[in-house]
Amino acid sequence: MVNVNISYADPVDGKVPDGPPSTAWARRRDQYKLVSPLNRRKFKVIVVGTGLAGAGCAAALGELGYQVSAYTIHDAARRAHSVAAQGGINAARARKVDNDSIHRFVKDTVKGGDFRGREADVFRLAEESVRVIDHMNAIGAPFAREYGGQLTTRSFGGVQVSRTYYTRGQTGQQLQVSASRSFQRQVAAGTVTLHTHEEMLDLIIKDGRARGIVTRNLKTGEVRAETAHAVVLATGGYGNVFHRSTLAKNSNVTAAWRAVRRGAYFASPSYIQFHPTALPISHKWQSKTTLMSESLRNDGRIWVPKLASDDRPANAIPEDERDYYLERKYPAFANLTPRDIASRAAREQIESGHGVGPLKNSVYLDFRDAKERLGVKVLDERYGNLFEMYRDATGEDPHEVPMRIAPGAHFAMGGLWTDYDQMSNIPGLFVGGEAGWGYHGANRLGANSLLSACVDGWFTLPYSVPNYLAQHLGETLLEPTDPAVQGVLKDVSERVNRLMKIGGKTPADRIHAELGEILYEGCGVSRSEAKLTAAIEKIRALREIFYTDLFIPGNPQSFNQELERAGRLEDYLQMAELMCIDALDRKESAGAHFREEYQTEEGEAARNDEDWCFVSIWEEGADGAHIRHAEPLDFKDITLETRNYK
């Protein structure tokens, strides 16, 4: 049996205002301290990441008059990974007369997350969703419209109303372009200073507070420090720990994990979403998977042949020999079941021998009926660029043959733990977007990711960060010569040199690919004690290979992508073990965390509210110890219930 060193600490207070969660945000805003306009320019805030959360936060704080220093690993702010989101952004604006409401939005989100998120946070998400759509529309996002000019919507998984606003299949890209324009406006105005090609490698802490960061210039290799009164991390999720994921290859966990190494708590690391409509792996050398928007499930029907190992082309299989398994198992929601359920159902079909395609590793997403009902023109208006992507990736035309899809590692519901004010346990360190853990619980509903990033960036952090700054008026920035700054600079340089000196023969990407295989098998769509303990043992062995046989060519004082990959992989190897430990520790099934030992007779997730209705919050201790705190979850407006989409 593998040795897992876990100790259990006192509960953590999420600092949710007392009283009804439905009014918590309004009451909390009224309690926040303010900074007067003449004092704002005396404060500097570092924002790491320029996606929707980071760009929104930097632009809003810059507009208010604060000094903002923004960092991105990309050559331009607009290239952040928010561009990759396709299908839409949710909002409880209730313009469809389909009985939607803020309360219904909250219930869908809390229930969709299997009651493992903070209820008051979700009320804030729903309340601010209305302002987000109006704001993004005002700054130029080209949302789809009805004939009369009103913004139109469509449905997404886990809901029975139409609340998703969209721009064909490129919603993230269009929102990111609009946010980047507002961000660049502040750069031009001089309130925001943009640093491109800079990767955060460590966090500067003095007197227990976040006071700055250390970065490495990816073009020159220069390592330098910048200090500030507060730091905001909006650096995205960690799905690339699986190597093959729907994320861009540059997406990584390093900024967040460096904060963990400095004492920040990490919440629910094992809560990883597998997107049910990714493209299947077609070759072992494939470096990533490709996302097909969940919006396709509005009009596409998912099925497999009833006969196992059926080799006939899809169009040759008669209707009565097709199993529309989601429609059969979950008739109330059918093809729009939540992502965790749809992914598990697809995995069941594939593993039982009903998979399709050359490698038998996918299921069909078929637009035949929609084509007959709506016509090609309407389908192309709704999904044209997605169909083009599919044709480019596979050489097949989804107008003529069904798409082939399969679950792929996608979104991280876990992340740096924050309280209700989105501040971590380290004072002065704030978190936004997918880098944090908020809102989604154990499973994210589709189209809530763009929303949560926008709510964090535009309408939460611009309130809560000034509340913190107001308590530090007159405080000077740390000097570059301060021992706290010099100590972190030394640590970063020593880490870089240590990696360069390993001098082995195995490149980082090969080790990363093996890590991905371990995680897909051991901590993937389904988990078990045996799988998880085996994965932990393999990860530890792989980490030994990393530290003894890693190969990095070139030198650290120049452009060196192999060094970048190695540093990010070291962080992945550490957090991968924590993911498996978290999954092993949580003895229940909830949302995307599906333990095979804890399921109902019908094969659904068996939640244990009596023992596990809390957020697991991890602290990295000395000598490899893992310390687990807990934040109890209390549901006042949304009654705890067993999820049922039948």
Q: Could you tell me the mean pLDDT of each successive run of 10 residues in the chain, 646 residues long? A: 88 97 98 98 98 98 98 96 94 90 97 98 98 97 93 93 93 97 98 98 98 98 98 98 95 98 98 96 89 94 97 97 97 95 97 96 97 96 92 95 97 98 98 97 96 98 98 97 98 97 97 97 97 98 98 96 98 98 98 97 94 97 90 97 90
Amino acid 1: pLDDT: 67
Measuring CA to CA, which residue among 575, 588, 583 is closest to residue 521? 583
Question: Rounded to an integer, what distance in angstroms lies between the CA atom of residue 630 and that of residue 618?
Answer: 8
Take residue 144 and report the two structure tokens written for it.
Answer: 């789809």
Q: Which two tokens stand for residue 565?
A: 């990959």
Taking the C-alpha atoms of residue 502 and residue 548, their distance in angstroms, rounded to an integer, is 6
Token pair, residue 258, equals 């460096």
Give the distance between the most distant pair of CA atoms in the chain: 75
Q: What is the pLDDT of residue 94?
A: 79
Q: Rounded CA gap, 616 and 579, in Å? A: 11
Q: What is the distance between the alpha carbons of residues 94 and 162, in angstroms, rounded to a whole number?
A: 9
Burial 509-525 (b: 16+ CB within 10 A, else e): bebbbbbbebbbebbbb
Cα separation, 100 vs 156, in Å, equals 13
What SS3 state is found at 413?
coil
> Six-digit token pair at 286?
């494939």
Positions annotated as catalytic residues are 339
> What is the distance between the alpha carbons of residues 186 and 189, in angstroms, rounded to a whole number?
5
Backbone phi, psi, residue 404, to 5°: -115, 125
Contact 533, 563 (CB under 8 A): no
pLDDT for res 400: 97
Decide: pTM greater than 0.95: yes
Q: Look at residues 547, 518, 516 and name the one whose alpha carbon lies nearest to residue 533.
A: 518
Q: Residue 590: CB partners within 8 Å, gap ≥ 6? A: 114, 115, 116, 441, 442, 605, 607, 612
Instruction: Report which of 49, 125, 144, 149 is spatially closest to residue 87, judged by C-alpha positions.
Output: 144
**Which pLDDT value is given to residue 412?**
98
Whose tokens are 């609340």? That residue is 163
Task: Output the CA–CA distances (angstroms, integers) from residue 279 to 309, 404, 405, in the order listed.
Answer: 20, 7, 5
Q: In angstroms, rounded to a whole number, what is the distance separating the alpha carbons of residues 410 and 247?
A: 7
Q: Does residue 302 sit in helix, strand or coil?
A: strand
